[in-house]
A and B are shown apart, each in its own frame.
Chain A
Amino acid sequence: MTTTPDGSAAGLTVEGLTVAYRTARGEAAAVTGMSFHVAPGETYGLVGESGCGKTTLSRALGRHLPPNGAVTSGRVRLDGVDVLDLAPADLRKWRATSLAVVHQDAGSSLDPTMRVGPQLAEILRLRGLSRAGAREEVPRMLARVRLPDPASIARRYPHQLSGGQQQRVVIAAALTARPRLLVLDEPTTGLDATVEREILDLIWMLRAEIGAAVVLISHDLGLVGRLCDRVGVLYGGHLVEEGNARDVLAAPRHPYTSALLAAVPRLGESRHARRLAAISGHPPAAGENVAGCPFAPRCALADGLCARTLPRLEAAGTRHEVRCHHSDRLYHPSSAVDVQTPARLRDDPGLSPTAADPAPELLQIRGLTRKYGRTTVVDDVSLSIGHGQVLGLVGESGSGKTTLARAVAGLGPRGTGTISLDGHALPASLRRRDARTRRRVQMVFQSPDASLNPSHTVRTILARALHTLRGSVSPQELAARADLDGHLLDSRPDRLSGGQKQRVAIARAFAGEPDLVVCDEPVSALDVSVQAGVLQLLSDQQRATGTSYLFISHDLAVVGYLADRVAVMYRGQIVDEGPAGRVLQGPHHPYTASLVAASLARLGEPTEQDTGMVQPGRPTGPGCRFAPRCPRRIDGLCDSENPPVRTEGGDHTVRCHLGIGDLPRRAVPVTIGVAPGATEEKEDPSA
């Protein structure tokens, strides 16, 4: 380990950091006694649910806490410099020369009224460059983050860039100086899988180049596992586990880490094979007085000792520490699971009953086309969903999946094509559907904040739905079916957590015993632990009622978990459709292959799909729409002729010029051990 002149270690050293907020009820500690070290060139991942202190910590690292927050004890040192001791002018200088922060939602980190070039030039000017020098340097900075045509990007306003391009610009801004500390706060949350992959690849390449200490903050364990050398797991403001990424993810020693891992569906894992283990309850609020272990109320292993005494962070292996009284009870070498490796992709139709026994069709979509102005968003789509079947619809933002879902629900612009339910034509407009049809088709939206009336109580929301949809049960019963606590019935939505709100929205959709529920990204705004609960609820409801779903998500693993059949949408067209296992395993469309690769591959591994940027705009001419990005493109054919729809194995269709035999497929299905969730379920808390 290199050391600085004053004898402390180079890199970032956090010692006993405690951050508290002044609230109406006194001081509330959001981070308590955190200590960790990140060497230059090392990437340190901080993981945890919302409300565990991740954001507070990231703001404390840049000494940029909100006005009511303060560091009450501890130190933050970077290469020997005590950041918390710096005078204001020195702090600004330190930020300019040593710190770089990349936040979630790059779009809002850029000034919307200023072109990208001047925004970057302004930072360069602060670093002492001349006006002309800054102007010359800007394209070089943009090229460094692999943006094509930097000169043109520099002339654009932020809103003229895609999300991925915006995030690249923000990263370019972060790297103008040679920072000694790079803080990445949820850098890819909200980005499409393929774009996320590109950004992560970029960070991976750059981190070696800059040699800074990198802190990656994320709720996504898989992402942290792929990118980081070391991982710290945060819970209730405490570091509960820390170690090499590989060790922590493969053999977690804290029940919380283990539970987080079990909550994430892995690609290819089906609801028919494993229940997702949601972590019941929620993390303690900042300042909530916990005498013992903060995780004890949610922990299957907790006993009296846990409730009384906060465990110490103790060695649990090589550079591996855990804060748990009972970590010895959790560790089962046989359960070791590498989260990187996918579950064996299902190609056994027996696992998904509906796939083996083609049910009569409930919903039929034929030649559906929807336009916004002159842009065709949904282009001649035909799909069907059988009784009791879950059809998963995947695609990146802008692929038209939401427009398709809204069309089924009777919303959005009018267009051509037919939708029929049980053989009867479904009017395109919701206004023309009679009460019975409305009852049969329900929708769950992405944001329950926007879809629940904030001035009504949960009871009123459910009672109204029961009334209009002619439901036969009471609101209590309906809430209970969605695992909603009865005492929440008289609360308004703003008192509920995101997961609870989504449960209300789901309960409401099921008020009239629908035949089809359209779910538009119902879990994408939720934390992994909450997501697991909502997915499990959807799965249980489906099993109990036999309702069909049209389930939309950009997350392939989530879609694969819930769906019997999967349809992949690209720029308004279905390019791949079939039984979930076969679509994910292949042979499949090159676009599906790139989605699978993006959600599976380790970083640093070159993949076939690296073909550059997502092109904005929509090609209108003939030819395959994916051709510009396709690694398997046949020049002279794919870019000029529309691809045929090929059928594989009877019920799997792929829209591609490649023959079935030439289509990509996953190389080796990987067998794995017992899922980590299983060990926790087997544990007897009293043991």
Chain B
Amino acid sequence: MRRFLLRRLAATPLTLLAVSVLVFTATELIPGDVARTILGREASDATVARLRIQLGLDRPVATRYADWLEGFVTGRWGDSTLLRVPVRDLVLTRLGDSLLLGALAFVLLVPVALTLGLVAGVNHDHPVDRILSVSGLTLGAIPEFVTGVILLVVFAVKLRWFPASAQAPEGAALATRLGHLLLPALSLVLLCTGYVARHVRASTVAAVESPYARATELRGFTRGQMVRRHVLRNSTIPATSALGVQLQFLLGGLVAVELLFNYPGIGALLLQSATEKDLPTLQASAMVLGVLYMLIVLAADVAYRLLDPRIRLGAVAS
């Protein structure tokens, strides 16, 4: 276990380096000239050229990459060319807001998906299972911006149960903020539930049909006791890796949902800086999301290893 952690942690900087190359190259490839975008169409070519030199855009790509990477690592992320504020504060604030939304979605997702998967798995091949499985798949097939629109129209516009904007008024209490976030979180949950529930269902079926479950029933336990004592743990452990995958999916879904619900998270920021060619912001947001992705994958792997004694304790030990 310790070895696994060390190995994974050692691999992390390498992966991040690869991510940084990708991010830098991708932002370089965005069409259009940065200086021209900043100054507008009216600016003279000479002004644009001066700004290019000022921004260091005339230097070779490799040098700029090295400078940028050094800056990112040491915390000098520069200023947003669009908003004229320091990128670091901007990105980290937006990230915090997004994490709040993501956390709410996650907290809703886990119990819902586990329950649905377990109920379907324990009743596998019965109508309950079919209904749950089909509806989970259907919901998973509808993109979050579609379910988001439907939720908005039904619950915010028609029923007026929830506010249409995800952004709570300045200085609102946490509860109010969460209330505002409920609809966007729900659209993310609907997207991911089906997938996680399917994984839980599959491992539940395997556990219910396993020899140890059969042995438990043959010892005189009720089916309910068997499920509580032996199926629960065995079906949820494998699902942790599915959850890890879905968390990343959830991050990706933030872009559309934040835009739709007008929420100033990092997804919205990413989109904005890409369309407006705000390179420092774009690069920093992308890097921060990359780091977050990696941490999630690592956390899911570690959780899986901690939960499963066969991996935690290794093979036959004396």
Contact = CB atoms under 8 A, between A and B. Distances in A.
Interface in B169-227: 210-212, 214-222
Interface stretch (A98-106, A510-518, A625-633): A98-106
Contacts of B215: 101, 103, 109-110, 170, 173
Given A64-B214, A108-B211, A113-B309, A93 B220 contact: yes
A92 B222 contact: yes
B210 A92 contact: no
Given A112-B309, A113-B234, A126 B220 contact: yes
Nearest to B232: A113
A109 B212 contact: yes
A101 B220 contact: no
Contacts of A94: 220
B317 interface: yes
A113 B233 CA distance: 7
Nearest to B217: A64
B221 A126 contact: yes
B218 A616 contact: no
B211 A109 contact: yes
A88 to B, nearest CB: 9
A160 B234 contact: no
A111 interface: yes
A105 B211 contact: yes
B52 interface: no
Contacts of A126: 219-221
Given A99-B218, A160-B316, A111 B211 contact: no
Contacts of A114: 230, 233
A294 to B, nearest CB: 29
A661 interface: no
Interface residues of B, number: 26
B206 to A, nearest CB: 11
Contacts of A62: 218
Contacts, number: 78
Contact of A157 (B214, B217, B307, B309): B309
Contacts of A162: 316
Nearest to B230: A111
A159 B316 contact: yes
B240 to A, nearest CB: 13
Nearest to A97: B220
Contacts of A615: 318
A231 B162 CA distance: 74
A92 B221 CA distance: 7
B315 interface: yes
Interface in B220-271: 220-222, 229-230, 233-234, 237
Given A96-B220, A111-B234, A122-B229, A617 B212 contact: no
B316 A101 contact: no
A161 interface: yes
A173 B219 contact: yes
B219 A95 contact: yes
B100 to A, nearest CB: 33
B313 interface: yes
Nearest to A106: B211
Interface in B6-48: none
Contact of A108 (B212, B221, B229): B212
Interface of A: 62, 64, 92-97, 99, 101, 103, 105, 108-114, 122-123, 126, 157, 159-162, 170, 173, 615-617
14 contacts: A62-B218, A94-B220, A95-B219, A99-B218, A108-B211, A109-B211, A109-B215, A111-B230, A111-B233, A112-B308, A113-B234, A114-B233, A157-B313, A170-B215
Interface of B: 210-212, 214-222, 229-230, 233-234, 237, 307-310, 313, 315-318
Given A113-B234, A113-B309, A170-B215, 9 more contacts: A62-B218, A96-B219, A101-B215, A105-B211, A109-B212, A111-B212, A159-B316, A160-B316, A616-B317
